[in-house]
A and B are shown apart, each in its own frame.
Chain A
Amino acid sequence: MSVNRWLATGNFYESYKQEQRIFSTHCERAVFIVFIVALFLWPLLIKTSNTALLVLDEIMIAIIAIIGLNLVTGFAGLISIGHAAFVGIGAYTLAATSRVLGDQHVLLTHAWPLMIFLSGTAGAVFGAFVGLPAIRLKHLYLAIATLSFQMIFQWTINFMSFFNQGQTIPIARVYCFTGMVSRKDHYLFWYYTILIIVVVCGFCVRNLLRTRYGRCLVAVRDNDRAADAMGMHPGLTKVYAFSLSGFFAGIAGALHAYLYRGAGLDSFTLHHSITYLAMAIVGGLGTLAGSFFGPTAIKALDLQVEQLSEWTSVFLPAAMNLATALKPLAFGLVIVLFLIFEPRGIANWWRIIKSYIKLWPFKY
């Protein structure tokens, strides 16, 4: 190993294994660790409002959901317009437990890590089930099949009295080592929990993509017939992609239900599915980094626009319509501009910045 593993000005890989390292240099790893530590430490040092924490929690939950969506849409190339329904399945697993056992049941309040995992599993099961048509359907027809799933999900929740007909089903506060998580600590507690889950999920997916199962997804996306000829089973791969994506979505849903202390249909509608797709696109489809940038960017945009429209409504009290229009306008423009000018999403900027810093002061 004559290569300097701290600073590499170029690629000096000698084997596939080397190329597939998670961190190509020690420097990268160090920066990453510092970043993660900073994420854990900052809430202790800076006092933040509940709103800010709620927003951060929301962003991180969306990140988990987008990791799942990216697996199915980005890596396996299967368009899913029903991702919010999978997230909903996760949340409603909790809600169903709450309906059957009562919302103060010890499973929900004490065994919440188990419940989160179970919700993920429920998501995976439904994912596999919804993925079944993928064996026969392709492209737009498949996209619409997932849309159908979204609609059927919405209808079922909305019309079954077991699910409280779409109205919020309450879920009690959870307990951790120090007793019940109070209202004051609620958002901070979930900040840490979700952060840990995000990091774990990130590593899981990063590693998955280094295995044959991950490469299988990409192969099926690029050409499923060729993949078939090379001995993979495209149908099974697609089902498994949906199931994996459902797993992450289910976890996100369970976290959402815990964070908001209830599950209501309102958070899992078609509109959310579309927003998830937008997040994946803006972040960069088929990249892991994109799963982190997309939700952050879209949620930040949302907040900025909200503030802007509030600001305009102060100056133009009669023109509330402008405020109304700003949000969809901004959302639409961002999607369209990204697709036209940067179809590879923010992840591409990230790549460019990284290589720029790596090569600096040289320019290729």
Chain B
Amino acid sequence: MKFKAPFIIILSTILSLFLLAGCGQKQESGQEQGQRSAAKAHTYKIGLSLAITGSTSDAGNPYSKGVEDYINYANEMKFLGDDKIKCMIRDDQYKNDVTKRNFEDFLSAGIIFYLNYSTGSTLALKRDFEEERIPVIPASFHAGNLIDSNYIFLPIVSYSSQAIGLSEYIVNNHKGVNPKTAMFIHPSAFGRGPVEDVKKAVAAGLTMDIIEVVEHGRDLDNTAMLKRLISKKVQYVICNTVQSPVATLLNDAQRLGISADEFGQEDKITFFGVHYTGGNDLIALAGTSAENFFWTTSYRLTNEESAGASAQLEIAQKYGRDSKTANSHNYTNGIMAAQIAVETIRRAKAKGLEINRSNLYNELTAMNGFNAYYPLTTVGPVTFSSQDHAGVDTQIIYQVQNGVFRSICNPFESTYTGKLK
């Protein structure tokens, strides 16, 4: 007791100072930075809040590195002349509350462009984006992001269009009457998003039967579900979830001996997936069961020769990334978001405009026709307009062959996506 009280007083004083510093420090640094940039007027700030830790960090981690590296690359290659872009990257652990705090923090630091991550936080912050009139590129391609929103831009085709694209591929290549299809989705808005749109496409004339929509839980065993699908003569399953459940599904299907060896094999199931189901992580998780899995995205992969692949690998090598990150399609994804941001700023600057939110927004919406942006890493051009907020409209389908994803068709644009509009 004798020593304890003074000790505690000192300790708690230090702790409370610490707390004050916590609140004060951020603000201070914000102001300081604000002054500095005002003096030089050459550093443009953009913000990125994403899940570097917590759930989906397996995607968020390479994504953040992609953004970081491309911004550094753009600065070093002087894409903007002597001007620099400063990208503040904050971890939000996939929690909407933290994303909101980060966003407020970015706003007080004076960002002109914002990169977001999850479907949940994009939907939660939609109204803030509207009020702040700031262009936003999320890593979530959820079609619902665009409803009631003017400032959210999807870098590539939405999950819905991807799923419709896959459905069209099934319909076009299926032999016989209407292909029977099921959807295997993540129990969240992210997973459910495409279901309605695919159903709409079917109603609009896509000759396909959707037999069942399965939302997965944390199941260890999909036997029951797979048996049920087989008994209902389902031949195709379109997945929209993350890799781990798909891997379990594929493993179970292979174990039951019902995974098709080639597209459309009778009495067997062929599996399809949209952007976040695939990639090297899936092969790492599912091993040989991933064989013959069809996956769609708008990105070029590094295991196939292309200008985009070599550029990506070059950047990754320059910044010392391991091969896992360098070859991840989420690294490509991150690079893509950064590319669009840098390109928009570059265009505005080339026109001699002041770099602010509204000019960047105008610049983004003008990115079409002859002004379309052709990045190397995607299978098609990025086109935005005030109506069209999905960037790359084309997609490509990859198939796992001998443990690697191989493209099996030319980039295409799903026809029903256009029809539904």
Query: Do A and B come into direct contact in the complex, CB within 8 Å?
Result: yes
Chain A interface (Cβ < 8 Å from any Cβ of B): 48-52, 54-56, 58, 158-159, 164-168, 170, 183, 260-262, 264, 266-267, 296-297, 300, 303-304, 306-307, 309-310, 317-318, 320, 323-324, 327, 346, 349, 352-353, 355-356, 363-364
Contact mask B83-111 → A, CB, 8 Å, 1/0? 00000001101011100110011011000
Complex-state Cα separation, A363 to B26, whole angstroms: 41
CB nearest to B2 among chain A residues: A363
In the complex with contacts A50-B108, A51-B101, A159-B124 CB distance below 8 A:
no
As a 0/1 sequence over residues 49 to 82 of chain B, the CB contacts with chain A under 8 angstroms (1 = contact) are 0001100010001001100100000000000000
Assuming the contacts A58-B97, A167-B188, A300-B18, asked whether A323 and B123 have C-beta atoms less than 8 A apart, the reply is no
Asked if residues A324 and B188 are in contact (CB atoms below 8 Å), the reply is no
A323 and B92 CA atoms in complex are apart in Å by: 12
Interchain CB contact under 8 A, B96 and A267? yes
Contact A323 B53 (CB under 8 A): yes
Q: Smallest distance from the beta carbon of A96 to chain B beta carbons, Å?
A: 17
15 CB contacts below 8 A, A to B, read A52-B23, A52-B24, A54-B101, A55-B23, A56-B23, A58-B101, A183-B131, A264-B124, A266-B95, A266-B124, A306-B91, A320-B61, A323-B91, A363-B2, A364-B1
Is the CB–CB distance between A50 and B53 below 8 Å? no
- Give complex CA distance A202, B76 in Å: 56
Q: With A307-B22, A353-B8 given, can you name 18 additional A-B contacts, CB distance below 8 Å? A: A55-B23, A159-B187, A168-B123, A168-B124, A262-B124, A266-B95, A266-B96, A297-B15, A303-B23, A304-B22, A317-B68, A318-B320, A320-B64, A323-B53, A352-B8, A353-B5, A353-B12, A356-B9
Contact between A51 and B105, CB atoms less than 8 A apart? yes
Query: In the complex the two chains form, what is the Cα distance from A47 to B281 in whole Å?
Result: 48
Q: How far is the CB of B272 from chain A (nearest CB, A)?
A: 23
Q: Which residue of B lies closest to A327 (CB)?
A: B53
B104 touching A51, Cβ below 8 Å: yes
Cα distance A6–B53 when bound, in Å?
A: 53
Q: Say how far A168's CB is from chain B's closest CB, in angstroms.
A: 4
Q: Which residues of B contact A (CB under 8 A)?
A: 1-2, 4-6, 8-9, 11-12, 15, 18-19, 22-27, 30, 52-53, 57, 61, 64-65, 68, 90-91, 93, 95-97, 100-101, 104-105, 107-108, 119-120, 123-124, 126-128, 131-132, 187-189, 192, 215, 319-320
The answer for the CA separation of A203 and B146 in the assembled complex, in Å, is 46
Contact across chains for B120 and A320 when beta carbons are under 8 A apart: no
By a CB distance below 8 angstroms, the chain A residues around B187 are: 158-159, 165
With A267-B96, A352-B5, A353-B9 already in contact, the answer to whether A49 and B188 are too (CB < 8 A) is: no
A51:B188 contact, CB within 8 angstroms: no
Neighbour of A324 across the interface among B53, B107, B319, CB < 8 A: B53
Q: Specify which of A168, A296, A304 is in contact with B120 (CB 8 Å cutoff).
A: A168
Closest chain B CB from A224 CB (angstroms)? 33
> Which residues of B lie under 8 Å from residue A300 when comparing CB positions?
15, 18-19, 22
The CA of A358 and the CA of B124, in the complex, are separated in Å by: 49
- A158→B218 CA distance, assembly (Å): 14
B298 CB, nearest partner CB in chain A, Å: 25
* Contact of B96 with A166 in the complex, beta carbons under 8 Å: no
Residues of A within 8 A of B8 (CB): 349, 352-353
Measured CA separation A203–B90 after assembly (Å): 39
- Residues of the B chain whose Cβ atoms lie less than 8 Å from the Cβ of A158: 187-188
Query: A304 and B18: CB pair below 8 A?
Result: yes
Question: What are the residues of chain A within 8 A of B96 when measuring CB–CB?
Answer: 168, 260, 264, 266-267
Closest Cβ–Cβ distance, residue B140 to chain A (whole Å): 11
- CB pair B188–A165 under 8 Å, yes or no, is yes
> Which residues of the other chain, B, contact A50 by a CB distance below 8 angstroms?
104, 107-108
The closest CB in chain A to the CB of B93 belongs to: A327
- Complex contacts, B18 vs chain A, CB 8 Å: 300, 304
B27 and A165 within 8 A (CB): no
Q: What are the residues of chain B within 8 A of A267 when measuring CB–CB?
A: 95-97
Which residue, of A159, A303, A310, has the highest number of chain B Cβ atoms within 10 A? Answer: A303
Inter-chain contact A49/B30, CB cutoff 8 Å: yes
Q: Is the Cβ of B97 less than 8 Å from the Cβ of A260?
A: yes
For A318, the chain B residues whose CB sits under 8 A away are 320
By Cβ-Cβ distance, the 7 closest A-B pairs, closest first, are A356-B5, A168-B124, A324-B53, A300-B19, A167-B189, A51-B105, A303-B22
Contacts of B30 in A (CB 8 A): 49
Chain B residue nearest to A166 (CB atoms) is B188
Structural contact, A52 and B127, CB atoms closer than 8 A = no
Kindly list chain B residues whose C-beta atoms are within 8 Å of the C-beta of A58.
Answer: 97, 101
Query: Which listed residue (A260, A306, A317) contacts B124, Cβ 8 A?
Result: A260
Q: Contact at A323–B52, with CB atoms within 8 Å?
A: yes
Residues of A within 8 A of B1 (CB): 352, 363-364
**Bound Cα distance A198, B65 (Å):** 42
Write the chain A residue with the least CB distance to B120.
A266
B215 to chain A, nearest CB (A): 8
With the chains together, A262 CA to B26 CA distance in Å?
Answer: 26
Q: A167-B123, A167-B188, A260-B97 are in contact. Are A324 and B19 (CB under 8 A)?
A: no
Partner of B127, one of A170, A264, A352, A364: A170
A129 → chain B, closest Cβ, in Å? 25
Whether the Cβ atoms of B57 and A52 lie closer than 8 Å is no
Q: Let me know if A51 and B27 touch, CB within 8 A.
A: yes
Chain A residues whose CB sits within 8 angstroms of the CB of B131 once the complex forms: 183
Complex contact A320–B52 (CB within 8 A): yes
Q: What is the bound-complex CA distance between A77 and B101, given in angstroms?
A: 34
With a cutoff of 8 Å between Cβ atoms, the chain A residues found around residue B2 in the complex are: 363
Bound-state CA distance A303–B20 (Å) is: 11
- Nearest-neighbour CB distance to chain A for B417, whole angstroms, equals 23
What residues of chain A lie closer than 8 Å to B19, measured between beta carbons?
296-297, 300
Known contacts: A51-B26, A309-B91. The answer to whether A260 contacts B100 by CB under 8 A is: yes
Report the nearest A residue to B107, measured CB to CB. Answer: A50
| Chain A residue nearest to B108 in the complex (CB) | A49
A51 touches B90 (CB 8 A): no
- Chain B residues contacting A349 (CB-CB under 8 Å) are 8, 11-12
Nearest CB on B from A282, distance (A)? 12
Q: How far is the CA of A42 from the CA of B2 in the complex (A)?
A: 36
Q: What is the chain A residue whose CB lies nearest that of B1? A: A364
B7 nearest CB across to chain A (Å):
9
A266 touches B320 (CB 8 A): no
Residues of A contacting B126 with CB < 8 Å? 170
